[in-house]
Amino acid sequence: MHDFTYHAASSVADAAAKVAGGEDAVLMAGGMTLLPTLKQRLAQPSDVVDLSGVADLRGIRVEGGAVTVGAMTVHDAVANSPEVAAAIPALAALAGHIGDPQVRNRGTIGGSIANNDPAADYPAALVGLGATVCTDRREIAADEFFTGMFETALDEGEIVTSVRFPAPAAAAYMKFPNPASRYAIVGVFVARTTGGVRVAVTGAASCVYRESAMEAALEGGFSASALDGMTASADDLNEDIHASAEYRAHLVGVMARRAVAACG
């Protein structure tokens, strides 16, 4: 790891100022992705601005049928929150199956979505539930937030402050995990929301996306059998040592049916 200047931010405004003030500054949340990246020298920032001392960014609020999770809230806190378990149990379950306990003790929702790993779990929940990402500058709908592989709609220096999830009528997430890392080889988040049925897929392609054909089939009748025989198109899916594009396409159908069945 190359050396850098470390700053502990005291507030969101302080963090924004420190990022703007550095030549090539980066934000750090839990460091679960950033530090491995720096160790591999894939990035060489001049300054690292640590958000962990910003108390406002931590915590979970449930009000008016929505769950708001602060950007610095760790996965373990979401997984074990009675409020989240009551309002959106699928979200608590998803957080409880990210990585391992030590990753969940430090990894945050803000870091996970800002990073937008194609195999990460949270992007599926945000898109599946039609969540809103709140930043220090604006609000961004999840459908517009995840723009490509490791890419988001965030501008230079923009800080995620929280994510607001509307509570659905029913929702479930099913993932086929990589047995070593627990990242999703394929994960499918299905939700019945006031805006209709949403089916979000992670792990399969370069970025989280919605399976519109499956959404349409489920609008016609919300049951696993509505998806009988359906798979994703393998055309643009990932292919690597873990799974071929065809296998991922098949898994999208299997995980989607299991998620629908789990919605009850």
Partner 1 sequence: MPTVNMNVNGEAVSGEVEARTLLVQFLREKLRLTGTHVGCDTSQCGACVVHVDGVSAKSCTMLAVQCEGADVTTIEGLADGDALHPMQEAFRDNHGLQCGFCTPGMIMSALDLARRNSAPSEQEVREWLEGNICRCTGYHNIVKSIMAGARAMAAGQGG
Ligand X SMILES: Cc1cc2nc3c(=O)[nH]c(=O)nc-3n(C[C@H](O)[C@H](O)[C@H](O)COP(=O)(O)OP(=O)(O)OC[C@H]3O[C@@H](n4cnc5c(N)ncnc54)[C@H](O)[C@@H]3O)c2cc1C
The Cα–Cα gap between 73 and 238 comes to 30
Task: Choose, by CB under 6 A, the member of 9, 16, 25, 26 that binds ligand X.
Answer: 26
115 binds, among partner 1, ligand X, none (CB under 5 to 8 A by kind): ligand X
By CB under 6 A, residue 226 contacts ligand X: no
Task: Choose, by CB under 8 A, the member of 35, 153, 213, 224 that binds partner 1.
Answer: 35
Q: What phi and psi values does residue 130 have, to the nearest 5 degrees?
A: 65, 50
Nearer to partner 1, 4 or 150 (CB): 4
The answer to whether the CB of 239 falls within 8 A of the CB of 185 is no
Residues in the chain: 264
Distance of CA 58 to the CA centre of its chain: 17
Within 89-108, which residues bind ligand X (CB under 6 A)? Answer: 98-99, 103, 107-108
Report the nearest approach of partner 1 to the CB of residue 119 (Å).
Answer: 15
114 binds, among ligand X, partner 1, none (CB under 5 to 8 A by kind): ligand X
Tokens 């929940």 belong to 125
By CB under 6 A, residue 116 contacts ligand X: no
DSSP 116: T
Q: Give the angle 149-152-154 at the CA atoms, nearest 5°.
A: 155
Report the nearest approach of partner 1 to the CB of residue 86 (Å).
Answer: 20
Binding region for partner 1 (CB under 8 A) out of 33-41, 119-127, 192-200, 226-234: 33-41
Count of residues binding ligand X (CB under 6 A)?
Answer: 30
Could you give the C-alpha distances from 47 to 26, 44, 155, 202, 251, in angstroms and in order? 6, 9, 18, 31, 41
Report the nearest approach of ligand X to the CB of residue 259 (Å).
Answer: 17
Angle between helices 122-129 and 89-96 in degrees, nearest 10: 170
Q: Which of 57, 58, 61, 105 is nearest to 79 (CA)?
A: 105
By CB under 8 A, residue 99 contacts partner 1: yes
Residues that bind partner 1 (CB under 8 A): 1-6, 8, 31-32, 35-36, 38-39, 48, 50, 52, 99-103, 105-106, 180-182
Residues that bind ligand X (CB under 6 A): 26-34, 51, 71, 98-99, 103, 107-108, 110-112, 114-115, 120-122, 154, 159-160, 181-183
